[in-house]
Amino acid sequence: MIGQVFRNFTPRGLIAAAAIGIMGAMPAAAQQTAKLSYHWGPTHPAAVFANKFAELVGERSKGALTIQVFPSGQLFGIRDILGGVSSGAVEIGGAVGVVSFPTLNKNYNVTNLPGVFESFEQIRGFFAETEVGKAIMEDVTSAAGIEIIGFNPVGPSAVFTTRENVTGIEGFKGVSARVLTDADRPRWEALGAGRMVSLPTGEVYTALQNGMIDTVATVPGAIKGYSWWDFLKTAQMPYFQFNDAYFIANKPWLDSLSPELRQIVLDAAAEIGAEATEAIMAESDKVLEEFAAKGGTVVTFEGAELEKLSAMERNEVLPKMLGEVDQDVVDAALAYVGKK
C-alpha cells in the first residue's frame, strides 16, 4: 500500500470521477464514525486540507462514514499522534514525518540532511522508487500497524527569530532555540546557540512570550497558525528543509471497512494530498508576505552570506547529522537526486 500511495498522483478530476462511480454503486450500510486527530492550529494550511479530507469522505460516502475532526492537539499532539493511531485510540491522524517516523526507523532522518532533497517530489520519489527508501517506509508502517493513505505537507522550513537586523549567520550567536527533534540540534550548535530548549508545539507560544526561547526553525504556516508571529521579527531564507506530513490510518480499522468505503477514504486522501502539495509552496510564500506586512523582516541570504551558510551546513551540520542515518541510505539518497 505504501508504494502505491507514494507513486500514484492521479489527477483530481479522475479521482473524483472514480469516487462518484463507487459512491453510486454503494449498497446501503449502517453509519460509521472515525476520529481524525491533528495538532495544527485552525489557520494552518495542513489543518484546512485535513478538514477538507474529512468533509469529502462524508460527502462521497453519503453519510455512511463520518469523520469527526479533533484539531489543535485536542486528543494528540505532534509528538504522540503516531501512538494514538497505532493504538486505535483514533482511526486517522495527521503525522509530521520528521517527528513521528524516526522513532521507528532512524533512517527517515535522511530527509533532514541539508543539501540533499530539494522538493517534496524528490523525497516521495526516494521512498517510492528506491529499495532502500521503500524498506524504510515499510518498516515504519509495519512496526506501527498503520497505513499511509495520503500526503498533507506542512511546508518548507526557515529560521525565525525575535531578533532584528539579522543579516548573516553571526546574528544567531547566543540565541535561545526551540528543539522539536534531536535533528534540530546540529544546526543550532553550528549557529552558536546559547541555549536549546525541547518544546512541543503547544508550548512554543508561551515560551516565546516569556523569553524562554527567541528562535525557532519551522514552516511559515506555523508562525501564522499558532500566532508565533506575535513575537517573531525576522525570517531567514532560503528554505533549508521540506517537511512532509501524512494522513496515517490504523491498519486494522482500515481493513475493517467495506471495499467501497475503503476506496472512498483512499481516493479522498489522494485527491486532497494532490491539492495540498500543489498549494503548499505558494501558501508558505503568502504567509511570509503577511509576516512582512505585519512588520516582520524577511532576509534572504545571498552572495557571501549564502556561501557562509552553505559552508556551515556542509562542514558542521551535515557531518553531525550523518551519524543519525546509515551510510547506505545516505548513498542511495545522494544517488537518487544525482548528487553522488
The predicted structure's pLDDT at residue 2:
61
Q: pLDDT at position 12, please? A: 46
pLDDT tens profile 101-149? 999 999 999 999 999 999 999 999 999 999 999 999 999 999 999 999 9
Give me the pLDDT at residue 144, please. Answer: 98
Contact 76, 87 (CB under 8 A): no
How far apart CA 66 and CA 286 sit, in angstroms, is 32
Q: Among residues of the chain, what percentage have pLDDT more than 90?
A: 90
Beta partners for residue 94, in sequence order: 247
Confidence of residue 13 (pLDDT cuts 50, 70, 90): very low
> Do 90 and 70 meet the contact criterion of CB atoms below 8 Å apart?
yes
pLDDT at 340: 76
> Smallest Cα–Cα separation from 81: which of 93, 72, 71, 69?
93
Which pLDDT score, from 0 to 100, does residue 203 have?
98
pLDDT digits (tens, 9 = 90+) for 23-44: 444 544 569 999 999 999 999 9
Give CA–CA dist 30/335, Å, rounded.
50
Predicted confidence at residue 29, as pLDDT, reads 52
The whole-model pTM stands at 0.89
User: For 129-149, b where at least 16 C-beta lie within 10 A, e where not — what string?
Assistant: ebebbbebbeebbeebebbbb
Question: Taking residues 46-75, what's their average pLDDT?
Answer: 98
User: CA angle, corner 229, sides to 225 and 234, nearest 5?
Assistant: 130
Q: How far apart are CA 16 and CA 302, in angstroms?
A: 44
Q: What is the mean pLDDT of the chain?
A: 93
Answer whether 265's CB lies under 8 Å from 178's CB: no
DSSP output for 104-122: T-GGGGGGGSTTT--SHHH
Q: How far apart are the first and last CA of the chain?
A: 30
Alpha-carbon distance values, 129 to 7, 11, 136, 282 (Å): 8, 20, 12, 27
How confident is residue 262, by pLDDT bands cut at 50, 70 and 90? very high
Residue given cell 531567514 in the structure block: 236
User: At 236, phi and psi to the nearest 5?
Assistant: -105, 120
Quote the pLDDT of residue 7.
Answer: 56
Whether the per-residue pLDDT at 1 is higher than 90: the answer is: no
Decide if pLDDT at 10 tops 80. Answer: no
Structural domains present in the chain? 2-154+242-282 (3.40.190.170), 156-241+285-324 (3.40.190.170)
CB atoms within 10 A of CB 92: 31
Each residue of 201-211: pLDDT tens digit?
999 999 999 99
* Number of residues that this document lists for the chain: 340
- Preceding peptide of 319 cis, ω within 30°: no
Q: Which of 1-5, 98-102, 108-112 has the lowest mean pLDDT?
A: 1-5
The torsion angles phi and psi of 176, rounded to 5 degrees, stand at -100, 105
List helix spans (H) across the chain: 2-7, 12-25, 45-60, 81-87, 97-100, 120-129, 131-144, 185-191, 204-210, 220-225, 251-256, 259-293, 303-312, 318-321, 327-336
Confidence of residue 264 (pLDDT cuts 50, 70, 90): very high
pLDDT digits (tens, 9 = 90+) for 186-206: 999 999 999 999 999 999 999
